[in-house]
Structure 1
Amino acid sequence: MPIPEDVTGDEIDKDVRQELQSLPKTLAEDVAKNLVMVARLIDEDPEGAYGYSRVALRLASRVAAVREAAGFAAYANQKYAEALAEFRAARRMTGSVELWPVMADCERGLGRPEKALDMAGATEVHKLDKAGQVEMRLVAAGARRDMGQLDAAIVTLQSPELASHSVQPWTARLRYAYAEALLAADRLDEAREWFAKAVEADRDGSTDASDRLAELDGVEFVDALDENQNEDAGGNATDVTRPDAAEDASETGGASGGEDARDGDV
């Protein structure tokens, strides 16, 4: 696959660069460039990222960072069995538990929420850092929802991290997941409150909490292009609000809902 001229391979972080030092110089450079492309494309073009990850995997399958990148690229394309296999391989190579939450979420994606819950109770969870433990909590709550255990999902998310007023990298997603769980349980007023709290913490737009809050408030946003077309046709611009919009809003849930690790970085 073609590599843009502006990609040198030097963009990768120093830990990955150190891993690639076990390879011949030219090969290491080629692998690094493909890993840069995976990172560059994974959010906006998951299929493209997957293609580059396969090239890197073909060149250096014995490098843990390559297996991990291949896992995340497969995960982004909902190829959960493949992702799980790559994550397991990376974990065997490094001995790290860092990938434990996303491995559990792959089990959810494969329709095995019970397995995800077993992993949430494993000793590996105690070895995770705070961010990893929060991700594991998100996955466990998602698994509960997969199984129709809405009240248990809500309780799973209730934690010191959720109650804290300080904003951490995981705060917006944790509050969002809690709001989603409350909404699934038809606790609308509480759900609105927590979507609002998620908006307050979402400094980088990692969730669509503002849109979900607008839906609950009955606000409908009209596309500017449609509005201009209406004006060109001689009509008045469409009002940006509609009182009954919240009734038409559809709730997301299940394995692809906002409470799981697949909606965010692990």
Structure 2
Amino acid sequence: MARHLAMAAQLIDEDPERAHQHALAASRRAGRVAVVRESVAITAYAMGDFALALRELRTYRRISGSDDQIALIVDSERGMGRPDRALEEARSVDRSALPTPTRVALAIAMSGARLDRGELELALGELEIPELNPDLAFEWSPALFDARATVLEDLGRTDEAAFWRERAEVASAALGHGDDDEMIIEDAYEDLPDDPQSGDPQSGDPQTDDDAAPAVPAGDSAVDDSVVEEQRAEADPAGPAVLASEDAEDAERAE
């Protein structure tokens, strides 16, 4: 099971379908383990199968008792073309009780749902959270800054959008995103079924019309791909990276 989960995590960006097969293989061995159902949900989301992602996320939440995947639930509702349901899901949790990375990811997802409804100013307002600090970089900062830039572009405020886009790039560089170091795990091809569809886990949830909805191709969704990564991010225990602004650098040179 652990090997399949590790492979799912390693392959999710480059080969989501293969990652999903590994998650399904893990579910056949330990279908009642929360992290396994979480992996099935995340890989289904990455493939654009939002109906399956929702079903598995609800099962994960029931087993674990945790709301730490609420942002992915909200984005999956968006992926199925239901921004109203997405906002209802978001409002169903106590955001003050969520860990900071989860709370930030939820703000990004809610902003996206507002965009889906054409509510641009409200979309911007969803991102007005204490973590929106252009001078500090936590793991969630690049996605948060990018989300703000996107809304500002939609509002026609291009200069402000360019500022936040640049802040996102600086934050990403400061955090070392894009480094080539990674763990390589040998793929266990022989353990996978010939027909990956035959191994879909039984969620344990009653089948509903929503759960049975057809999958939406990943390219057709307005969902932000960064949510998968950001809703799992943890704050750097050593503290945030401090991002120097151009004005500060100019002042230092003048001295």
Amino acid at match of 2:117: M
Gap change, CA 1:53 and 1:254, over 3 Å in 2:
closer
* 1:105–1:262 Cα contact (<8 Å) kept: no
Pairwise CA RMSD of aligned residues?
A: 2.1
Per the alignment, in what secondary structure is the counterpart of residue 110 of structure 2? Answer: helix
Per the alignment, in what secondary structure is the counterpart of residue 178 of structure 1? Answer: helix
Of residues 127, 130, 135, the one that matches 1:160 is 130
Paired residues for 1:12-23 under 5 Å: none
Partner Cα distance (2:46, 2:25) in 1: 17
Partner Cα distance (2:113, 2:222) in 1: 8
Amino acid at match of 1:83: A
Of residues 41, 65, 84, the one that matches 2:54 is 84
Is it true that 1:101 corresponds to 2:71 in the alignment? Answer: yes
Query: Identity over aligned residues, as a percent?
Result: 36
Per the alignment, in what secondary structure is the counterpart of residue 136 of structure 2? Answer: coil
**Aligned residue number for residue 176 of structure 1:** 146
Partner Cα distance (1:59, 1:124) in 2: 34
Structure 2 spans left out of the alignment, 5+ residues: 179-218, 233-255
Partner Cα distance (1:61, 1:180) in 2: 39
Paired residues for 1:241-256 under 5 Å: 255-256=222-223
Deviations 1:108-138 (A, max 9, x none): 1111111111222223423211111111100
**Aligned residue number for residue 125 of structure 1:** 95
Structure holding more helix per residue:
1
**Aligned residue number for residue 236 of structure 1:** none
Per-residue deviation, 1:155: 1.6
Runs of 4+ in 1 over 6 A off after TM superposition: none
Q: Relative contact order: is structure 1 or structure 2 higher (C-alpha 8 Å, sep ≥ 6)?
A: 2
Partner Cα distance (1:162, 1:178) in 2: 9
**Aligned residue number for residue 14 of structure 2:** 44
**Aligned residue number for residue 29 of structure 2:** 59
Partner Cα distance (2:153, 2:97) in 1: 32
Partner Cα distance (1:117, 1:56) in 2: 32
**Aligned residue number for residue 227 of structure 2:** 261
* 1:97–1:127 Cα contact (<8 Å) kept: no
Gap change, CA 1:190 and 1:263, over 3 Å in 2:
farther
Partner Cα distance (1:140, 1:57) in 2: 30
Deviations 1:17-61 (A, max 9, x none): xxxxxxxxxxxxxx1111111111111111110111111112221
Per the alignment, in what secondary structure is the counterpart of residue 8 of structure 2? Answer: helix
Per-residue deviation, 1:199: 1.2
Of residues 158, 161, 170, the one that matches 1:191 is 161
* 2:67–2:93 Cα contact (<8 Å) kept: no
Per-residue deviation, 1:257: 4.3
**Aligned residue number for residue 212 of structure 1:** none
The structure with the larger Rg is: 1
* 1:172–1:202 Cα contact (<8 Å) kept: yes
Per-residue deviation, 1:262: 4.6
* 2:42–2:228 Cα contact (<8 Å) kept: no
- Deviating more after overlay: 105-114 vs 116-125: 116-125
* 2:83–2:117 Cα contact (<8 Å) kept: yes
Give the TM-score normalised by structure 2.
0.69
